[in-house]
Amino acid sequence: MTTGEKRGVSRRAFLATTGIAGVGLVLGFRLPGVRELVGWGGEAASPFGPNAWLSIMADGRVTIMVDEMEMGQGVMTAMPMIVAEELDVAWEAVSIEYGPLDPSSWPRGISTGGSTSTRTGWDPLRTVGAQAREMLKEAAAQQWEVSAAECTTRDGTVFHAASSREVGYGDLVELAATLPVPEEPPFKDPSEYRILGRRIPRVDTPAKVDGSKVFGYDLKVPGGRVAVLERSPVFGGTLTGYDGAGAEASPGVRSVVQISNGVAVVADDTWSALKGREQLSTEWDEGALASLSTESLDARLRELAEGEAAEARSDGNVAGALSGAAQRLEAEYQVPYLAHATMEPMNCTAWVKDDGTVEVWAPTQAATASQQTAAEAAGVAVDRVTIHSIPMGGGFGRRSHTDFVREAVEVSKAVGEPVKLMWTREDDMRGGQYRPTALHRFRAGLGSDGMPVAWEHRVVAPSIFYQFGPGALDRANGVDGDAVSGARQLPYEIPNVHVDYVRLDVEVPLWFWRSVGHSHNGFTTEAFIDELAHAAGADPMEYRARLLQDHARNLGALERVAEAANWGSTLPEGMARGIAVHESFGTFIGQVVEVSMDRGRLKVHKVYVAVDCGQTINPDTIEAQMDSNVAYGLSAALWGKLDFAKGRVVQSNFHDYNVVRMGDMPKVETHIIQSSERPGGIGEPGLPPFAGALTNAVFALTGKRIRQLPIGEQLADV
């Protein structure tokens, strides 16, 4: 074995190389974690070992291994495309695998979320591909006794035009593995790209289509049992007693055990476990939230809106500008708690073994956190826990929490057997983690020309970060950055802007939901700017454009979607359109939504989307994610809502927490803006502007402003 040279380069770049003489060239690199990019709390960690690899074997086989979790967003295709492009190999010659997963070797955390995979991977993925290419060129040059500068590459072959010689990568790997690694290899010019920007079929699709892909719900471990858990009907409730005799007598049930979060029924199969749970008798002290209701939450939001707030942004003198404004406007918007509603409910298989080791099979977005949680639950060291990442039937942020992992490990430890813990849809809807509710209060002042001179925005909402401890907000001067994301960064050129935040203190479990705070701030800011345009008697698109002259990428997305939708043209009678633009996760989105009404029922016909996500990796993935964002956003805008009564979540399944069906899905037409900027995220940015564009279209059609989601029955009398 020959070890390549180790370089002290950027934290986002190459860490180590290892060549295996006579076998191949292996390059290891690290991908920054989601925490590093979005600025989650915690001390910076020292560099760690590689967690993803490129290997080129002596027979010419190229394998690219990554550890980002695939949950439908396309990373298992997009990230290898970046490496293959710089390596200069044919895509057809590449095989893709999950890398060996050892979360404990990455102190900063293996976590897939926040639309970060491609954004954080862009530099290290390009670098490792370019490093390998340059090392292979140098190996060929040494064999031929020429300068590497005289050599070129294409499709896994090195060429020397002057002597008409060529050699495949596989014949060079043994020598290349002995060479030093270039710290700053040259990158291809985008004009030379032959893989990036192409429509590459998703590598994970065939196994999903033919049914060979094994999801967590499908997983079977030899000798394993199935468990379901009876949890408190009210968040924070405490178990005071239970009678498991009826459940234990139910056919197929093996045992009934108490764990920290409730009582588990362990059985031979899912049906037996569920039937056994029906016979279980439990008693609870329902605690402080036993009287919680939607009405009490709403009243508390409005009460807090009248008090003091933590400042998130302050430009100019808003109070003075409002007092002198030619016209003043006020509006209040509200959004509800939302469930993630993943198609596959939570599940986890765990095996706490007699030898003190633990194996966990988890459809998780957070491998490191799952490993740490499993270790705590089992009472062992982290390095005694092996995490097997299982494909996810939807994530949307929900699977970056680890509550389902903890429960599975505790049950397995209690019974001494491998156990698959299954959540039903009702379990997850009523006992999961939620997108916070939020109340938004706006005030604005317009000058004599109708343009805004002042903008004031107050966000009242629970804090996801406060769940990690009060210090998370103390360090940010009382502001939850997620709660005001997209509001604090308002791009419109308004001379006086004030944004602040008030925390609602209620112990309903919260977690990161697709696009997080952008999901409601994108809606409310774009709806209120539309109100200003209407008050000014201006076209909504032109009004925005005047305010975005110094924000080229926002303006570009706005103008491109307006052009695509033929904004300003006459629609058929009974139809109208609305527009919105929003930036999140490094991507700029413009949307136009076309709607009609039929006897009080809203119909969304078409959604035009303009996407500036920087360098295009795979157009198919971008278009698929825009379709997905529209579907998810439409579900939330029309029907998404969790109500509370007597401390309990009212909704339980898709019959009363509706999601868009095929007949309700509009046509989505996506236009990708070509850009040389760094890649932005793509899994979430299409959602934030949708509800604003939709409700703006409703106003254009009916004259009714929708300021509270979901739209639901608000149009029944129109």
Residues 621-647 have pLDDT tens digits of: 999 999 999 999 999 999 999 999 999
Amino acid at residue number 598: D
362-384 pLDDT tens trace: 999 988 899 999 999 999 999 99
- Range in 94-98, 220-224, 445-449 the model is least confident about: 94-98
pLDDT of amino acid 52: 52
Q: Does the structure show a pLDDT above 70 at 359?
A: yes
Higher confidence at residue 469 or residue 359? 359
Average pLDDT over residues 476-481: 95
Q: What is the dihedral of CA 662, 664, 665, 666, to 10 degrees?
A: 140
Q: Where are the beta strands (DSSP E) in 487-568?
A: 497-503
Band of pLDDT at residue 29, cut at 50, 70 and 90: low
What are the angstrom distances between the C-alpha of 457 and each of 2, 310, 312? 61, 12, 10
- Between CA 276 and CA 273 the distance in angstroms is 5
Neighbours of 446 (CB within 10 A): 18
Average pLDDT over residues 267-287: 98
**Which candidate, 493, 594, 488, places its Cα nearest to that of 545?**
493
pLDDT of amino acid 28: 64
- Between CA 323 and CA 160 the distance in angstroms is 74
What residues contact 616, with CB distance under 8 A and at least 6 apart?
196, 197, 622, 672, 674, 675
pLDDT of amino acid 313: 98
Average pLDDT over residues 217-232: 96
- Between CA 488 and CA 404 the distance in angstroms is 34
- Range in 34-43, 229-238, 440-449 the model is least confident about: 34-43
**Average pLDDT for the chain:** 90
pLDDT of amino acid 368: 87
Average pLDDT over residues 351-358: 97
Matching residue, tokens 């990019």: 37
- What is the side-by-side order of every strand in the sheet holding 165-168? 151-154, 157-160, 165-168
Amino acid at residue number 300: R
573-617 pLDDT tens trace: 999 999 999 999 999 999 999 999 988 899 999 999 999 999 999
301-344 pLDDT tens trace: 999 999 999 999 999 999 999 999 999 999 999 999 999 999 99
pLDDT of amino acid 115: 79
- Between CA 348 and CA 655 the distance in angstroms is 26
Amino acid at residue number 239: L
pLDDT of amino acid 99: 56
For the record, the structure tokens of 87 come out as 């390596």
What are the angstrom distances between the C-alpha of 276 and each of 223, 225, 411, 422? 20, 14, 16, 14
Query: For the chain, what is the radius of gyration of the CA atoms?
Result: 27
The pair phi, psi for residue 565, each rounded to 5°, is: -85, 0
What residues contact 508, with CB distance under 8 A and at least 6 apart?
235, 289, 292, 337, 434, 462, 644
pTM above 0.85, yes or no: yes
DSSP states of 621-664 as a string?
A: HHHHHHHHHHHHHHHHHHT--B-EETTEE---STTTS----GGG
Band of pLDDT at residue 18, cut at 50, 70 and 90: very low
- Between CA 458 and CA 501 the distance in angstroms is 6
642-700 pLDDT tens trace: 999 999 999 999 999 999 999 999 999 999 999 999 999 999 999 999 999 999 999 99
Band of pLDDT at residue 37, cut at 50, 70 and 90: very low
Average pLDDT over residues 294-299: 97
Q: What is the Cβ-side half-sphere exposure of residue 315, based on CA atoms within 13 angstroms?
A: 16
Helix 690-702 / helix 518-535 crossing angle, nearest 10 deg: 30
Q: Does the structure show a pLDDT above 80 at 517?
A: yes
**Range list of H helices, 199-255:** 205-209, 245-248
Band of pLDDT at residue 476, cut at 50, 70 and 90: very high
Instruction: Measure the CA angle with vertex 541, ends 535 and 546; round to 5°.
Output: 80
pLDDT of amino acid 30: 55
What are the angstrom distances between the C-alpha of 660 and each of 66, 352, 633, 665? 33, 40, 9, 7
Band of pLDDT at residue 1, cut at 50, 70 and 90: very low
DSSP states of 488-506 as a string?
A: TT--S--SSEEEEEEE---
Q: Does the structure show a pLDDT above 70 at 534?
A: yes
For the record, the structure tokens of 310 come out as 């933590």
Contact 70, 215 (CB under 8 A): no
- Between CA 60 and CA 494 the distance in angstroms is 58
Express as a percent the part of the chain with pLDDT over 90.
79
